[in-house]
Homo-oligomer: A and B are copies of this chain.
């Protein structure tokens, strides 16, 4: 199957987007996130754990614990989440996976693909969670 983000990454993006839509300062449990987004609870939990290490979300243990953003939404971009989970490999490796690829012998897709890849990168880099908040909240309310 053709895929862009791994499941892990999809879920991570969804979860962080979810966190960016709640009241600042509030905390939500992985259970709530899992239920709202229809993701296996333990999986969400694991992913958020790894994002905690990356400094994107922060966690609070114990009763009434849960997750929240670790920094202001104005300082988090979607690319940060992708980088933390899937890495940025896709943005500097080639679509076709040709061996021994050098700029001297570009494959037929090189140019166009490069352009597209840059646009994708910009899409994920351009706006912060802050700027996306309006749309995000609408989306989350509809779940």
- Total copies of this chain within the assembly: 2
Contact with A4, one of B3, B9, B37, B142 (Cβ below 8 angstroms): B3
- Residues on B with beta carbons closer than 8 Å to the beta carbon of A107: 17, 135-136, 139
- With a 10 A CB-CB cut-off, give which of A3, A38, A102, A112 has the most chain B CB atoms: A3
Provide the A64-95 mask, 1 if CB < 8 A to any CB of B, else 0.
Answer: 00000000000000100010001101100001
Central interface residue in A6, A97, A142, by most chain B CB within 10 Å:
A97
A-B contacts besides A2-B4, A105-B139, 20 pairs, CB < 8 Å:
A1-B6, A1-B90, A2-B5, A2-B86, A3-B3, A3-B4, A5-B96, A11-B97, A14-B98, A17-B96, A38-B99, A98-B139, A105-B138, A106-B135, A108-B136, A108-B139, A109-B123, A116-B116, A116-B120, A116-B123
